[in-house]
Structure 1
């Protein structure tokens, strides 16, 4: 059974999820604040790939924000773990918790995936760009963590001044 995927031109499914402090955060609020929003889905905070991707987004945040683009990360981690992750790596954009994976499933980012040659159920590392009118202008599934943010910035026409994005600290 394959997971339904979101496609360019579709309306992004609405969501309201708790952030690292437990404060409800909605897609509508993020769009109202930023105009355009990058929604990225990652499997687990504090893991190497997810840390690389999140730290890279933080490194590009100023340029993305100046281009009118907000960033939000979603994982199934509980808010307390997201708070430790945010604090350890000094992440300043919202990290949202979807422990029952309802939003991840609705966005096509939870379902069957290949892991070391086996088909398993899990979080599918994905990235979406949602325009101010709520439509999806970019939907990528099974993205690679390393180099993803730089590639995304290029697609969005955002020039990153810090081409060598910071490496995540060990831990």
Structure 2
């Protein structure tokens, strides 16, 4: 498997979102994409991140970005998360972990003294040609939009 890196081609993927729609990266050709991977629906950090993107969604759209969230949660879990927080963007269910593995964001994590495997919170900024312009490896969940816009401009 090729290493996913800035300047490289974003790996193609296909999955189902919270509304049962099939979402693929190819659907977004010619558009800027904020592809963000998060550990779990309705947890404090993931909620802060999703709500920051929601609250600034019109600004992101205005700057030409499409937002796609991905976690290993189920379609049903994503639907509840979307409805609870009125999220305006697709959340792709990656239960078989194909997408997290393609993007190399599944790995060892530590939390409260224990070690386990899980999704490593990471955001990929993908340009109109499908090239990864920036990888944000430790997103600031409460200020993620500002971080995205600053990283894109840099």
TM over 0.5: yes
Pairing partner for 2:82 from 74, 86, 107: 86
Gaps of 5+ in 1: 158-171
Aligned partners of 2:140 and 2:147 also within 8 Å: no
Deviation at 1:143, TM superposition (A): 2.7
Q: Corresponding residue for 2:10? A: 12
Deviation at 1:121, TM superposition (A): 1.2
Moved over 4 A (4+): none
CA distance in 2, matches of 1:65, 1:104: 25
CA RMSD in angstroms, aligned pairs only: 1.6
Alpha-carbon displacement from aligned partner over 1:10-42 (angstroms, at most 9, x marks no partner): 11110010000221110111235xx11000000
Give the TM-score taking structure 2 as reference length.
Answer: 0.91
Residues 1:107 and 2:103 are matched in the alignment: yes
Aligned partners of 1:50 and 1:145 also within 8 Å: yes
Deviation at 1:7, TM superposition (A): 1.1
Gaps of 5+ in 2: none
Pairing partner for 1:24 from 18, 22, 25: 22
* SS of 2:29 mapped into structure 1: helix
Alpha-carbon displacement from aligned partner over 1:121-170 (angstroms, at most 9, x marks no partner): 1110000011111110011223342222222222234xxxxxxxxxxxxx
Q: How many residues are treated as equivalent by the alignment? A: 152
Give the TM-score taking structure 1 as reference length.
Answer: 0.82
